[in-house]
C-alpha cells in the first residue's frame, strides 16, 4: 500500500475491509439467492412471491437512492449518515427473526406478510444509506485501491461466509422449522451489529466538497441533463440494465433445484457455501483486475459468469452437477455491484459522487421488476424458459460492455 502514506488512510482501508467482511459474512445466513426463496416457499408463497424477493432486494435498495443522494451530497461529513441509518436498517433483521418464531408454525401467512413488509423496510433503509456510505468509502479510499478494497471485503466475507454457511447448514439440518430460520436471522443480526460497530471507527478527517441544497423539484429536473451531457455514462447505464435483466433466473435456481431434483432443505446451506467459497478467490482476483485493467473488465467477467450460471442450469443433469450454477453465481455476485458503483462515480465530479450512485441505481431499479415477470414465465412455461431468457439478456449485456461501453479511466 505504498500509495496510502496517510496513517488514517491505511487505518480506514483496514476498517472498511473488516466492516465489509462482517456484513458480507452475516449475509450468508439470509442469502437472497438461496435462503429467502426457500423461506418464502416454506411459508406458503408461490413463484410470484419468490420473484418478489428479488424485486424487493434490489428495487427497495435502488429506488430511494436518488432522493437520498440529494441530501447526502450536501453533507460535508458522510460518516454519521452512513452509521446511523445503517444501524436502524439492521434492526429489521432481528424483527424478521422474531416474526418467524411467533408465527412461522401457527400462522405462516402472517409470518410471510411480516417478512415481506420488514424485508421491504430493510432494503429501503439500505437504499437510503447507500449513497452516503459509498461516498464515504470513495472519499477515504484512493481510486486505484477501490477495486482491491472491494475484492478484499468480499474475499474476507467469503471466508467468514463459509463458516456462517456451515452454521446455517447445521441450523437447517438440526432444528425444525421455524426455529432453524429464526436462528439464521438472529445470527445475521449479530454479525450486522458487529459490522456497524467496526464502521464507527472510521476516521473522516476532512469535510467533503458539497453542492448547494436544491428543492426536490429542481434536483430531479437536473438529472436528465446528466445523460444528455455525458453520453458515455448513458451507454454504461444501458449495458447495466441488460446485465440486470440477465439476472432474472437468480431467484429461481433454488426453487428449480428443490422441484426438479427433490433437494432437501439443508441443501440451501450447501448452495450458500458454494457461493461464498468461490467468492474467497474470485472477489480478490477481480478486485485486483479492476484496479489494474479497469472496472469494465471486471463487469465483463461478472456478465460472463452470469451467462454460465443460466446455461448450466439448463443442462445440469443432477443435483450434484447443479452446484456449479452457484459457483458461477458466486463469481458474478462477488464482482458486479461494487464494480458498477466504482465505475459510475468515475463518470462524474467528486462533489456529485452521491448523485451518480443514486442516479445509477434509481434508473436501474425498475429493471429488477423483471423478477416478477420471471415468476409468471416459470408458472406458464417452466423454469427452462426463465433460464433461456437469462441467457439471451446475458449475451446482449456482454456485447454492449465489450463493444460500446468506455471505461472512464481510459
The pLDDT of residue 1 is 44
The pLDDT of residue 33 is 76
Which tens digits make up the pLDDT trace of 118-127? 999 999 999 8
Considering only CA atoms, which of 314, 323, 383 is closest in space to residue 50? 383
- CB 58, CB 32: distance < 8 Å: no
Ranges 29-33, 105-109, 275-279, 378-382: which has the least confidence: 275-279
Mean of pLDDT values over 20-45: 89
Cα angle for residues 228, 139, 128 (degrees, 5° grid): 70
Which tens digits make up the pLDDT trace of 129-151? 988 888 888 888 887 788 888 88
pLDDT tops 90 at residue 387 = yes
Q: Which of 105-109, 190-194, 211-215 has the highest mean pLDDT?
A: 190-194
Which tens digits make up the pLDDT trace of 310-322? 999 999 999 889 9
Q: Which CATH architecture has domain 7-403?
A: Up-down Bundle (1.20)
The pLDDT of residue 221 is 76
Mean of pLDDT values over 374-380: 86
The pLDDT of residue 2 is 43
pTM metric for this prediction: 0.75
Q: Which of 91-95, 172-176, 345-349 has the highest mean pLDDT?
A: 91-95
Amino acid at each position: 500500500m505504498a500509495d496510502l502514506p496517510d496513517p488514517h488512510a491505511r487505518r480506514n482501508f483496514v476498517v472498511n475491509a473488516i466492516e465489509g467482511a462482517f456484513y458480507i459474512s452475516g449475509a450468508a445466513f439470509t442469502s437472497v439467492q438461496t435462503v429467502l426463496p426457500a423461506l418464502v416457499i416454506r411459508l406458503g408463497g408461490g413463484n410470484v412471491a419468490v420473484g418478489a424477493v428479488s424485486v424487493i432486494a434490489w428495487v427497495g435498495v435502488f429506488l430511494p437512492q436518488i432522493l437520498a443522494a440529494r441530501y447526502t451530497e450536501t453533507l460535508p461529513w458522510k460518516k454519521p449518515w452512513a452509521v446511523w441509518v445503517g444501524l436502524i436498517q439492521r434492526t429489521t433483521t432481528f424483527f424478521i427473526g422474531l416474526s418467524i418464531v411467533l408465527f412461522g408454525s401457527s400462522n405462516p401467512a402472517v409470518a410471510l406478510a411480516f417478512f415481506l413488509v420488514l424485508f421491504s423496510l430493510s432494503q429501503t433503509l439500505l437504499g437510503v444509506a447507500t449513497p452516503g456510505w459509498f461516498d464515504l468509502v470513495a472519499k477515504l479510499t484512493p481510486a486505484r485501491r477501490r477495486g482491491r478494497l472491494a475484492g478484499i471485503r468480499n474475499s474476507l466475507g467469503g471466508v467468514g461466509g463459509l463458516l456462517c454457511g456451515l452454521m446455517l447448514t447445521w441450523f437447517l439440518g438440526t432444528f425444525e422449522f421455524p426455529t432453524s430460520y429464526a436462528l439464521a436471522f438472529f445470527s445475521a443480526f449479530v454479525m450486522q451489529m458487529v459490522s456497524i460497530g467496526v464502521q464507527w471507527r472510521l476516521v473522516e478527517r476532512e469535510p467533503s466538497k458539497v453542492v448547494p441544497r436544491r428543492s426536490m423539484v429542481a434536483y430531479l429536473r437536473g438529472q436528465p441533463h446528466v445523460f444528455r451531457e455525458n453520453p458515455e455514462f448513458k451507454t454504461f447505464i444501458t449495458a447495466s440494465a441488460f446485465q440486470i435483466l440477465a439476472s432474472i433466473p437468480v431467484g429461481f435456481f433454488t426453487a428449480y433445484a428443490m422441484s426438479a431434483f427433490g433437494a432437501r432443505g439443508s441443501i440451501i446451506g450447501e448452495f450458500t457455501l458454494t457461493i461464498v467459497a468461490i467468492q474467497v478467490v474470485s472477489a480478490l482476483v477481480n478486485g485486483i483486475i479492476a484496479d489494474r485493467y479497469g472496472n469494465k473488465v471486471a463487469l465483463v467477467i461478472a456478465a460472463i459468469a452470469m451467462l454460465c450460471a443460466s446455461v448450466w442450469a439448463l443442462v445440469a443433469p443432477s443435483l450434484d452437477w447443479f452446484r456449479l450454477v452457484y459457483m458461477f453465481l458466486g463469481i458474478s455476485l462477488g464482482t458486479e455491484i461494487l464494480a458498477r458503483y466504482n465505475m459510475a462515480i468515475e463518470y462524474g465530479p467528486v462533489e456529485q459522487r452521491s448523485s451518480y450512485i443514486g442516479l445509477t441505481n434509481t434508473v436501474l431499479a425498475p429493471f429488477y421488476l423483471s423478477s416478477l415477470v420471471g415468476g409468471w414465465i416459470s408458472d406458464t412455461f417452466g423454469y427452462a424458459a426463465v433460464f433461456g431468457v437469462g441467457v439471451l439478456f446475458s449475451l446482449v449485456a456482454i456485447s454492449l460492455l465489450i463493444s460500446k461501453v468506455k471505461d472512464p479511466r481510459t
